[in-house]
Chain A
Amino acid sequence: MFQSNNTSRKISKSLLLTTMMLATDSHAFIVTINSGPRAVYLRVGDGVATGTYSGGGTVASGGAISLVQVSVPAAQVGNGTVQPMSGNGRLTSDWDNYAFCNAGQVYIGGFYRNTSGTATAPLQVNTVTPLNNGSGNTIPFSQISWTMSGNGDTSNPIANGSFNDGTQTLVNISLNQWVESCFTFNYKNQTTPPAGTYTGRVIYTLTAP
């Protein structure tokens, strides 16, 4: 009698579970997540930052255009003696407000964010239009060279070089990598233009592929 009752309970339980399985309508809620947004950021000179990144700040478009200049003594014009140039603009990194560049240097920093592949973002500079004095006289940008450094850096992401009077690539920024350094410009002083003030604009472009 006891066995019979026990068997009866087992039957009931088994049937109940079988019924549950049949009655259960399996389902899954599905959520679609998008891939991350592409982002590209480039700062040359000042830039605009609200706070520091490490302090929860962010950056924006804008900022003054840096001015890099040199006055060559009349007696030395064209003699090939390199003339150090002096730039202006903010010298601190937006990461932590660290004084990354020194007075006279021009800061450059940028990154490229994406979620796919091994593509890189080229950082290019255009100097097609030469410096001019407004009277038809020019000095090619190839008369200006630079060296790169950054306080505390052991290597520089951008090589030393000179403008080429065209469009040249300074560095290909790897995916999700931060690049920053400081330019120190020099005037080669290898031409003999008429006296005057020569101005021109260098345009840096970082392109996300």
Chain B
Amino acid sequence: MNRYLAILLCASLSQHTAYAKTYPLDDSQSQILGGSVPMQWEHFFPRRGQPNRLIGQFRVLVHLNVTAWQGHTVRIYQKLPSMSTGPFQITWQSQGKLLNGTMHDGERVIIWQGRIDRASIEDTLQMQVVADGNQLSRAQQMEFSYEIEAE
């Protein structure tokens, strides 16, 4: 019986190591406020030597389900996959619960850090997207996700 338990334990620890302590986080109740994001030219006039950048803004109500992590000290990351029409720069401001920050596609950044003492973390992020106007030739979908890891 003890031997069986030990084997099970090893298997479980191996699985733990393989995921490098990082887990996807349920944000299925997050909500984009508004529809698709209209992008506008950063500069109305183009000028030689200046980047032709597009800027758009949107708000998102982020709802992170951290029920299973209550009592643990964790880091939560915001993640955006690399996009072929990038680079994209995303800057956001929170209402105070999540951290403000900047990231590019293909990166993940810490958006929350501390001890979980509630079932969910909610905040409204005012997000700004900056895109390369020479690359963004059609509508694009940006898939933001969240990961959590124990400290």
Q: Of the 9-residue stretches B46-54, B95-103, B107-115, which lies at the interface with chain A?
A: B46-54
Interface flags, A22-56, vs B, CB<8A=1, else 0: 01111111111111110101000000000001000
A176–B46 contact, CB under 8 A?
A: yes
B residues less than 8 Å from A30 (CB atoms):
32, 141-144
Find residues 90-140 in chain B having any chain A CB closer than 8 Å to their own CB: 127, 129, 131, 133-140
B residues less than 8 Å from A11 (CB atoms):
5, 9, 12
Q: Confirm or deny: B44 has a beta carbon within 8 angstroms of a beta carbon on chain A.
A: yes
A20–B134 contact, CB under 8 A?
A: no
A117–B137 contact, CB under 8 A?
A: yes
A residues less than 8 Å from B140 (CB atoms):
32-33, 35
B41–A37 contact, CB under 8 A?
A: yes
Do A177 and B46 form a contact, CB below 8 Å, given A24-B24, A27-B27, A29-B30? yes
Q: Confirm or deny: B15 has a beta carbon within 8 angstroms of a beta carbon on chain A.
A: yes
B60–A29 contact, CB under 8 A?
A: yes
The chain B residue with its CB closest to the CB of A116 is B137
A residues less than 8 Å from B133 (CB atoms):
36, 113, 115, 176
The 7 lowest CB-CB distance pairs between A and B, nearest first, are: A116-B137, A26-B24, A14-B12, A28-B145, A32-B36, A27-B28, A176-B46
Which A residues are closer than 8 A to B by beta carbons?
7, 10-11, 14-15, 17-21, 23-37, 39, 41, 53, 58-59, 94-95, 111, 113, 115-117, 175-178
